[in-house]
Amino acid sequence: MSESKEKAIDVEKLLKNKLKSVSPEALENGISKVISELVGEDYKCTIGEIKYTLFSGADFHVKVELTYNPEE
């Protein structure tokens, strides 16, 4: 007979949205850095209004643009 091991859902953890503690600027910088490293060009990111959702999520619009640097 196999035992069914079900994990209990930690409702408090789901409802405590840790994303709210991260600044939009930190998100923009992180996304810019990752994309720049992947592409090999300097990119910037801007995030529009952030709507935090139930269950520790967030919805937002991300705009990514190539940074123009005439010195390169």
Residue 66 counted as domain residue: yes
Whether residue 63 lies inside any domain: the answer is yes
Domain housing 52 = 28-72
pLDDT tens-place string over residues 11-38: 777 678 888 899 999 999 999 999 999 9
Tokens of 50: 């952030």
pLDDT band at 4 (very low <50, low <70, confident <90, very high): low
Does a structural domain hold residue 11?
Answer: no
Q: Is the pLDDT of residue 46 over 90?
A: yes
Q: Tally the domains of the chain.
A: 1
C-alpha distances in Å from residue 64, one per residue of 7, 14, 24: 39, 29, 14
Give the global pTM. Answer: 0.71
In a domain, 22, yes or no: no
Is pLDDT of 2 > 60?
A: no
* Greatest pairwise CA separation for the chain in angstroms: 70
9, part of any domain: no
Q: Using an 8 Å Cβ cutoff, are 62 and 44 in contact?
A: no
The verdict on residue 3 lying in a domain is: no
Q: Does some domain include residue 48? A: yes
Tokens 């079900």 found at = 6
Determine the Cα angle at 49 with ends 47 and 51, to 5°: 115
